[in-house]
Amino acid sequence: MNNNTNQNVANANTETKGITENISNTNSSSKNQKESETKNNEVANEANTKTSKEEVKELSFEMPVEGEIAKPYARDNLVYSNTLEEWTTHLGIDIKADKTTVVKASEAGTIKSIKNDPRYGLTIVIEHNEEYQTVYSNLLSSEFVVEGEEVEKGQSIGTVGNTASFEIADEPHLHFEILKNSIEEDPSIYLK
């Protein structure tokens, strides 16, 4: 009976030792997992901070051509259209400039499209980030850039023309728009 008791105690000690080792291993594993999660969170936070700092770059739009504003932005008010011979909204500004005057990118960005719009003539759209776009219409030419090209602020993108059928009765000018989240904004608020 003594042998059986000693054997039972030895077995119990072995089981206890095994359980203690399992608990120790579980605690160690749990500790390693927590440390790993903490490190991963720190790396993710650092990456997010870097991305946020890069995205914060303030946009500063400049006049794409030098000249007087011939027709202001008018979403809520109406302006008279000589071409249409009626009062209408005007979702950009018209900047007077001689034909063939070089048009420059108002801010750095990517050429999103170059198209011949049936109403606004030859038009270049530049995407500045996920939020802003600038639109340059009534152009004579766009030979300085191609779609998908990265452009710098002040880089030549085209020349002033008279190709907008909606504004054909007006003197040569650049029709210029700024869109924020695909909605036309008053460019004069942004231009410096």
Which residues, 6 or more positions from 176, have their beta carbon under 8 angstroms from its beta carbon? 64, 92, 93, 94, 95, 106, 134, 135, 136, 137, 187
CA distance 159 to 144: 9
- Is the model's pLDDT at 87 over the cut of 80? yes
* Residue 191: other Cβ atoms inside 10 A: 17
- Indicate the helix (H) or strand (E) that contains 110: strand 109-117
CB 97 within 8 A of CB 137: no
Residue 63 lies in a domain: no
Query: Of residues 91 and 24, which shows the higher confidence score?
Result: 91
pLDDT digits (tens, 9 = 90+) for 102-128: 999 999 999 999 999 988 999 999 999
Do 40 and 104 fall into the same domain?
no
- Is the model's pLDDT at 23 over the cut of 50? no
Residue 62 lies in a domain: no
pLDDT digits (tens, 9 = 90+) for 32-86: 455 555 454 554 455 444 443 344 468 899 999 999 999 999 988 888 888 777 8
Look at the chain and report how many structural domains it folds into. Answer: 2
pTM of the shown model: 0.69
Do 2 and 50 fall into the same domain?
yes
Residue that is last in its domain, among 31, 56, 81: 56
CB 187 within 8 A of CB 178: yes
Do 21 and 46 fall into the same domain?
yes
Confidence of residue 26 (pLDDT cuts 50, 70, 90): very low
pLDDT digits (tens, 9 = 90+) for 132-189: 999 999 999 998 999 999 999 999 999 999 999 888 888 899 999 999 999 999 999 9
Do 155 and 110 fall into the same domain?
yes
Pair of tokens at residue 155: 């880089």
Give the structural domain span for 47.
Answer: 1-56
pLDDT value at residue 181: 95
Do 102 and 151 fall into the same domain?
yes
Do 107 and 38 fall into the same domain?
no
State the residue for tokens 């936070």.
Answer: 45
Do 84 and 52 fall into the same domain?
no
